[in-house]
Structure 1
Amino acid sequence: MILNHLWGIYAHPKEEWQVIEQRHESVSFSLSHILIVALIPAIMGYYSAVHLGWSIGVGDRVMLSSADGIMMATAIYMGLVGGVFGLAYMIHWMSKTFDSEPTYTQALEIASYTATPLFMVGFAAFYPELWFIITVGLVGLSYSVYLLYTGVPIVMNIPEDKGFIYASSVVTVGLIFLVVLMTGSIVLWGWAFSPV
């Protein structure tokens, strides 16, 4: 099953990282995981922006037309998938600094499974209140960082002290990617989308 590690990374992450390390699935396996899980924030973003409306605090709910919602969902989806591939590339590129020689597939596994909690935050769009989305987003981000710190030493086969520094470098790159995605969405919102 494509999403067979999904429950394990929540229920028992260290053991699941060991399973992921032992199996080394193909690139298509990791790719299918990313492509399916990245649909959650895109679809939920569309649904909440078009049908529920966003509450940013005081005032009326902000909504998008259906056409703008589809463009927004497509941009979110492409940005998230591109961000995971960019993060996987950086994980692979930085590995030589930390005396590790992973395949790109291993780097993609780390990037895709650590991004999963952030993608699951998309379900919070059922209640599109800004304070709620931010709170759930911080929880998802925290768990993603935890998964990264536990998974890097196991999948990259390096000692935990090097894994901590390696994971810290990856977290920095991931946060930069996240800021770029958020900035891009703000620019798109003001430039391309017209709230109803």
Structure 2
Amino acid sequence: MTDTPPTSPTPVGGPAAGIIQRAKDILLKPKETWPVIAAEPATTQSIYMPYVLVLAAIGPLAGFIGGQVFGITILGVTYHPPIVGALVSAIVSYGLALATVFILALVIDGLAPNFGGQKNQVQALKVAAYTGTAGWVGGIFGLIPALAIIGVLFGLYGLYILYLGLPVLMKAPEDKALGYTVVVILVAIVLFLIVGAVVAAVSAPALLTIR
């Protein structure tokens, strides 16, 4: 990509300020922000570091802290997961979240021609990464397990962000954007279920261990 971005992704204040500003923009004004993102030169590394690496850690970290501090209440019984098991679960969840972004990007790129779009791996990775912003930010509610459902609502908002971004970055006709979005969402759900199953399989033995 050689286009000059209309705005800088990293404002004065360093990478942290850039992450916060970009997250705010994609959440509060996605329709205006996607064209900016589309025009930015980028690589897989620049998309992951530091944006994805930082934001994808919010949910696992918040869930770990929330489980240790408040515990998890099931049927009126509060359970505090063993710290080692909870840590393993958080680490595995984080690693799989990073991998899922890349896999989803491959799917988005591969499906593009079927919906009149243009294949572009970097643009597809942008869609996968920045669409994840809503769910990752919503993961902060994991600090208080009882409020975790709010994080789910954030994730649902991410579907709307995805719908707005696909036709812009993958150059798909608007009349095919809905179908494109639906197929990508279905794939994302399958990936989510697979990730959940893997995390459960890896961390369950440690989580069930009595302290």
Q: Establish whether TM, by shorter chain, passes 0.5.
A: yes
Range 178-187 or range 73-82, more displaced: 178-187
Match of 2:128 in 1: 111
Match of 1:78 in 2: 95
2:148 maps to which of 133, 147, 154: 133
State whether residues 44 and 122 of structure 2, in contact with CA within 8 Å, keep that contact through their aligned partners in structure 1: yes
Match of 1:42 in 2: 60
Deviation at 1:189, TM superposition (A): 4.6
Q: Deviations over 1:72-104 (max 9, x none)?
A: 111110111111111111111111212322321
TM alignment of 1:1-196, pairs within 5 A: 1=10, 2-3=18-19, 4-32=21-49, 33-59=51-77, 61-129=78-146, 132-134=147-149, 136-194=150-208, 196=211
Q: Deviations over 1:45-87 (max 9, x none)?
A: 221222321112311x211222222211111101111111111
SS of 2:72's equivalent?
A: coil
State whether residues 54 and 63 of structure 1, in contact with CA within 8 Å, keep that contact through their aligned partners in structure 2: yes
State whether residues 90 and 170 of structure 1, in contact with CA within 8 Å, keep that contact through their aligned partners in structure 2: yes
State whether residues 88 and 107 of structure 1, in contact with CA within 8 Å, keep that contact through their aligned partners in structure 2: yes
- The alignment's C-alpha RMSD in Å is 1.8
Q: Deviations over 1:107-141 (max 9, x none)?
A: 11000111111111221112112xx323x133112
State whether residues 30 and 161 of structure 2, in contact with CA within 8 Å, keep that contact through their aligned partners in structure 1: yes
Distance in 2 separating the partners of 1:73 and 1:88: 23
Range 32-41 or range 20-29, more displaced: 20-29
Distance in 2 separating the partners of 1:85 and 1:26: 12
Structure 1: where are the runs of 5+ without partners? none
The alignment-based identity, stated in percent, is 24
AA of the residue aligned to 2:73: S
Match of 2:14 in 1: none
Q: Which TM-score applies when normalising by structure 1? A: 0.89
SS of 1:55's equivalent?
A: strand
Distance in 2 separating the partners of 1:64 and 1:44: 14
Distance in 1 separating the partners of 2:88 and 2:200: 14
SS of 1:30's equivalent?
A: helix
Q: Which TM-score applies when normalising by structure 2? A: 0.83
State whether residues 24 and 106 of structure 1, in contact with CA within 8 Å, keep that contact through their aligned partners in structure 2: no
State whether residues 140 and 151 of structure 2, in contact with CA within 8 Å, keep that contact through their aligned partners in structure 1: no
State whether residues 68 and 80 of structure 2, in contact with CA within 8 Å, keep that contact through their aligned partners in structure 1: yes
